[in-house]
Amino acid sequence: MRIETSFLFDLDGTLVDSVYQHVLAWKEALDSEGIDLSVWRIHRKIGMSGGLFVNQLLRETHDQFNEDRVERLRVAHTAAYQRLRSDVKPLPGAISLLDALTRANIRWAIATSGRMETAKFNLEALGVDPQTAVVVTRDQVKHAKPDPDLFLAAADRLGVPIEHTVVVGDSVWDMLAARRCRALGVGLLSGGYGTDELEKAGALRVYEDPADLLSHLDEVAARP
């Protein structure tokens, strides 16, 4: 029996070069609420769910967060990201990688902790139409990464067993989520995390960016 491999991709830092724009957008949102947090601390949290992000903020800033304040932060982040989005480009090889998978009849989906209000700009830059491709955003699941819900929902929409999927992501949150749903984790360095951290979080292979993954595709997927 031939077991087909399908791919579940994270979006920010994995297919599009948007991590730093998100970090700066969060920085601006936090500043507007008078919350002082260094840029590197924000970077470490990109890719996890907004709820956990706020919990970690609470822990690190000893600040008070009620629902209104969380909502104001989300709105301010979205507004700032909209201004920065023109700088967001696909990562090298991202478009070719998705094309190559499509041509080889290998199924793929995108699963992001972001909401559609920001993800839509990145999808546009990638040339991915969420009406025709399988795209799962934070809006569609109860818990985002490092919970596995986004990847489980994406596999479900593709109609493939999660055990036969490769989760490709740039952050430890992707790798932890992959581990928790028994998918194979493949890490990319294009979001700023290092090889050691990705491997410790469960990545079986680590590549530089989508172009590097494309040229080593035979290491992680059965030949079409």
DSSP state of 174: H
On whether the CB atoms of residues 174 and 150 are closer than 8 A, the answer is no
Closest CA to 134 of 113, 150, 146: 150
Residue least distant from Mg ion (Cβ) = 13
**Interface with Mg ion (CB under 5 A):** 10, 12-13, 47, 170-171, 191
By C-beta, is 161 or 192 nearer to Mg ion?
A: 192
- Closer to Mg ion by CB, 101 or 111: give it: 111
Least distance from C-beta 73 to Mg ion, angstroms? Answer: 19
**Closest by alpha carbon to 134, among 11, 219, 16?**
11
Burial 141-162 (b: 16+ CB within 10 A, else e): beebbbbbbbbbbbbeebebeb
Q: Which of 217, 180, 222, 224 is nearest to 201 (CA)?
A: 180
Query: Nearest approach, Cβ of 55 to Mg ion (angstroms)?
Result: 19
For residue 194, count other CB atoms closer than 10 A to its CB.
12
Smallest distance, Mg ion to C-beta of residue 85, A = 16
Considering the complex, state which of residue 15 and residue 160 has its C-beta at the smaller distance from Mg ion: 15
Nearer to Mg ion, 130 or 161 (CB): 130
In the complex, least distance from residue 159 CB atom to Mg ion, rounded to whole angstroms = 25
| CB closer to Mg ion out of 107 and 145 | 145
For tokens 């569609």, what's the residue? Answer: 140
As measured in angstroms, the least distance from the Cβ of 22 to Mg ion is 9
